[in-house]
Amino acid sequence: MKINVSLSVLLFCCFGYSQEVPKDGDIEKTSLTYVKCDLSFPIKANQHAGEIDTYTGEKEYWFLPDGISARIGFGVKPLDWINIGANLGIDWKGSKCLVVAPVFATLKICPKVESDTRIFIEPGFGRAFAFGKNDSGYFKKISIGAEDTDTGLGLYVELCQYGFSKNTAETIGSFCVGLTFRIH
């Protein structure tokens, strides 16, 4: 008797299930891959900050630009809020007269905070190759920012470190402010 009741309830539940079938125009196409472009500007502290320039009579800025970084990344989105990617780029550090090609992997965690805004943290690790000299080393970075989910445009700040130096024993690092553009 219990088996008959259980089978009846199971069949009733199976036949009672319904699903709305979307029309062709209603289906939202989601991609599991992405392409992103980053453009950032390393900045450094101005040693003459706050002083009056004798030629212009204006106060010196607190921070100065110190180069440019351009990177491109490819990856997958196993979940809507996690991205795993491979990146490559070129970084120019003006004060150190150094041009570097970083090749690195990233893990981006980007939860939604509003319906069209995501905040993200993106650590990365890989190798950096210096142009003009036979030197390479590790490359580490971490980015924190926000992006618009509709346009894919975002702003971020980044700390990165190269595992070598041009002339001294210390490693080179930079603080960057940048823009990111993600293509679905």
- What are the tens digits of pLDDT across the range 53-108? 778 878 887 888 889 999 999 999 999 899 999 999 999 988 888 899 999 999 99
The whole-angstrom distance between residue 164's C-alpha and the CA centroid of its chain comes to: 23
Q: Say whether pLDDT at 18 is over 80.
A: no
Q: What is the DSSP string of 18-69?
A: --PPPPGGGPPP--SEEEEEEEEEEEEE-TTTTPBPTTT-PBPPSEEE-EEE
Q: Say whether pLDDT at 12 is over 90.
A: no
pLDDT of residue 71: 97
Amino acid letter, residue 136 = S
Percent of the chain with pLDDT over 70: 82
Mean residue pLDDT across the chain? 85
pLDDT of residue 63: 84
pLDDT band at 123 (very low <50, low <70, confident <90, very high): very high
Higher pLDDT, 130 or 30: 130
Rounded to two decimals, the pTM is: 0.77
| Radius of gyration of the chain, Cα coordinates, nearest whole angstrom | 25
Residues 69 and 41: beta-carbon distance below 8 Å:
yes
Q: Say whether pLDDT at 169 is over 90.
A: no
Cα dihedral: 130, 133, 138, 140 (round 10): -30
